[in-house]
Amino acid sequence: MELETAELSQSFAIMSIPTPTLFGVVPLWFGKYKRHLSTTSNSQTPNSTMAKTKELSKDTRNKIVDLHQAGKTESAIGKQLGVKKSTVGAIIRKWKTYKTTDNLPQSGAPRKISPRGVKMITRTVSKNPRTTRGDLVNDLQRAGTKVTKATISNTLRRQGLKSCSARRVPLLKPVHVRARLKFAREHLDDPEEDWENVIWSDETKIELFGKSSTCRVWRRKNAELHPKNTITAVKHGGGNIMLWGCFSAKGPGRLIRVKKRMNGAMYHEILSKNLLPSARALKMKCGWVFQHDNDPKHTAQATKEWLRKKHFKVLEWPSQSPDLNPIENLWRELKIRVAQRQPQNITALEEICMEEWAKLPAT
């Protein structure tokens, strides 16, 4: 049966979010693994210890009160919503005292944007998330309020809205949306142990000098062209290498370089030489499941026959769904680490990839 337009739109909204769609099914082990990666990565955020505590949204504060009224303890509420127990307690005390969870009036200069103006710009960006700060400044100026772009940012941030880069997602046709939604529904209630028994795999390309070699630098005005503040760029990325790798909840499996254009026979050889050794090294339980996408090389009859003869269980995978594969986070981490070491030739690029892959921590 064809899905109605509204349901398709809703399905797309649900399934186009890259990692949370699948990680909502397997939140615990991979959430821990991502945090572990971030703490062991060479990259550090300046003044990260001085970060300001994020203000809870009004919806979250109201949920805290609702759960409190339902008889839940502060600890239970905190665990369910991912909020500190002390914060939960403070919100409950405010609600008991003032019968509200809203921010109370504070001393100091009044807000530059009136409550009505706040509602107006919030409604505008909610309808069109691509509205610029300049557009909002002009809207308010026409309404008689003169503010800066910084004020716009601060005001929207207090409403729980932050300017972010639009996430790139696969172009999905209705048939893809239906398949992804079906996949999510079928696995929504799978226990965490099932996902711990999956070996995820994929291929990726890493360029010697390319978009993967991006970084941020601290520099003074007019110093953007100083060699210390630049990244070498050459046409076509200066060459690249193709990698195949796999991992599970227990950590990374094997990583190999694919030196020729991959076809079905080569993919078959890669699996025969690397999949079982990876499973043994990761100490996968009996009946473990193998995941790969629907690339024609992966779905070739010879590959299917080999997997069947080896009695491998293969996770049925929806088409156009690279964003659902958690290995994408591993590739990103690898590319960041490799870029930080600035390889200068293809040989060094391959060596550094292997070295950094070996350093990726197990859970």
Asked if the model's pLDDT at residue 299 lies above 50, the reply is yes
Q: Rounded distance, CA 118 to CA 293, Å?
A: 45
244's enclosing H/E stretch is strand 240-248
pTM score above 0.75:
no
Give bridge partners of residue 203 from the DSSP assignment.
244
Q: Rounded distance, CA 55 to CA 87, Å?
A: 10
State the average pLDDT for the chain. Answer: 82
Out of 36-45, 48-57, 128-137, 200-209, pick the least confident.
36-45
Q: Give the DSSP letter string of 41-59.
A: SS---TTGGGPPPPPPPHH
Number of other CB atoms surrounding residue 265 within 10 Å: 12
Asked if the model's pLDDT at residue 28 lies above 50, the reply is no
The mean per-residue pLDDT over the stretch 143-171 comes to 88
The secondary structure of residue 236, as a DSSP letter, is G
Q: Rounded distance, CA 325 to CA 302, Å?
A: 24
pLDDT (0 to 100) of residue 15? 39
SS3 206: strand
CB 165 within 8 A of CB 214: no
Q: How many degrees, rounded to 5, is the angle at CA 111 between CA 108 and CA 112? A: 130
169 token code pair = 């997602």
Asked if the model's pLDDT at residue 150 lies above 80, the reply is yes
pLDDT (0 to 100) of residue 56? 87
Asked if the model's pLDDT at residue 44 lies above 50, the reply is no
Q: Provide the total of helices (H) and of strands (E) in the chain, helices listed first.
A: 15, 5
Residue showing tokens 């339980």? 285
CATH 3.60.15.10 at 175-359, yes or no: no
Radius of gyration for the alpha carbons in the chain, expressed in angstroms and rounded: 25
The mean per-residue pLDDT over the stretch 108-131 comes to 88
247's enclosing H/E stretch is strand 240-248
Q: Write the CB contacts of 287 (distance below 8 Å, at least 6 apart in sequence).
A: 197, 313
Out of 93-102, 141-150, 179-188, 277-286, pick the least confident.
93-102
Report the DSSP pairing between strands 289-291 and 313-314.
parallel
Asked if the model's pLDDT at residue 275 lies above 60, the reply is yes
